[in-house]
Amino acid sequence: MSEDRFQQVAIIGLGLIGGSIGLATQAALPGTRVTAYDTDEGVRIRARERGLAHEVFDDIRGAVADADLVVLCVPVRAMGETAVALKGAVKPEAVISDVGSCKQSVAGAIAAALPGQPLVPAHPVAGTEHSGPDAGFATLFRNRWCILTPAQDTPADAARRTGDFWTALGANVEIMDARHHDLVLAITSHVPHLIAYTIVGTASDLEDVTRSEVIKYSAGGFRDFTRIAASDPTMWRDVFLSNKEAVLEVLQRFSEDLSALQRAIRWEDGDALFDHFTQTRAVRRSIIEEGQDDARPDFGRRDHGANGGGANGAGANGGDATGGASGGDQPG
């Protein structure tokens, strides 16, 4: 850890990601003061109860006044208005960062609101389907990627210090161009979520299969889709509207590939199906070999009742790929 680490970190938005940053910072950087703010009074009360920050302010200006790093952890389409609220309230040298799931639109909105302020956009590629102040846990970022997308003119020391911050929280830091980030995440995260939202919606709309049959027989693959499809509607509405071009580009390719598989089934082309499934199995195996399998506590375990072990017993994800399937927003 370099000598010039941030002395005070302000977190704006105390849901899954903001809360996890607050807990992880207090655990990993005991000398760093953590201040925070959320627009929702109920969230602020719960954040104080859970100790997500050293101090949770009732106004955003108080939370950021002495901060060296301000991390915006709000839905992506709320980033711009949140940055506007920081105008004149932050120190001129304070580094502004965010955790938004798409980077081009967010960086543009923050830079427009706070011209000249050092800005280092970030995206921790770590999460669960849960949201809100009870969802966060200190180990969320351990051994997960955090992608930074600084602009060409971002001061190098601001990017380095932000990278050091995420490394201290346990993440592996990578620098990427914002546009490329948005394309990569469209295929690895955004479109998979859209597919989950679609298949779960289709299943609940089928006339000849009852909803209770869907629930009763959703043992494996479908149940995993329902976990993803339980993710926060506000967050994902914002992601799709903010990363529109990249998502539509990937969806175009996806529809073409789906049509090819549909054709192979129609014409009973077993070789085409077998070759395709063999290739996809290899992708899964290389993810596991690279140690990129899910690092969340107990995630992937099939035994019910395994608790993710988040702070205050607020398990991160109900334990396994099936645990969050009921659609409940908060972990048990």
Ligand X SMILES: O=C(O)C(=O)C[C@]1(C(=O)O)C=C[C@@H](O)C=C1
CB of 240 to ligand X, least distance (A): 12
Residues of span 175-204 touching ligand X by CB under 6 A: 189
The answer to whether 309 and 298 are in contact (CB under 8 A) is yes
Could you tell me which residues come within 8 angstroms of residue 241 by beta carbon, excluding any fewer than 6 positions away? 77
- The answer to the question of residue 114 lying near ligand NAD (CB under 6 A) is no
Residues of span 21-80 touching ligand X by CB under 6 A: none
How, if at all, do strands 8-12 and 69-72 pair? parallel
The pattern of x and - marking residues 87 through 126 that bind ligand X according to CB under 6 A reads --------------x-----------------------xx
Spell out where the chain has E strands. Answer: 8-12, 33-37, 55-56, 69-72, 95-98, 119-124, 145-148, 172-175
- The answer to the question of residue 297 lying near ligand X (CB under 6 A) is no
**Measured between alpha carbons, how far is residue 221 from residues 92, 95, 200, 218, 295 in Å?**
50, 43, 11, 7, 20
Provide φ and ψ at 287, rounded to 5°: -65, -45
Summarize the chain as % helix, strand, coil (round to 5).
50, 10, 40
CB of 236 to ligand NAD, least distance (A): 8
How far out from the chain centre does Cα 107 lie? 16
Binding partner selected for residue 56 from ligand X, ligand NAD, none, CB under the kind-specific 5 to 8 Å limit = none
The piece of 88-96, 127-135, 173-181, 207-215 that touches ligand X (CB under 6 A) is 127-135
- The answer to the question of residue 14 lying near ligand NAD (CB under 6 A) is yes
The pattern of x and - marking residues 132 through 151 that bind ligand NAD according to CB under 6 A reads x--x----------------
Q: Which residues contribute to the site for ligand NAD (CB under 6 A)?
A: 12-18, 38-40, 43, 73-76, 78, 81-82, 99-101, 124, 127, 131-132, 135, 232, 235, 239
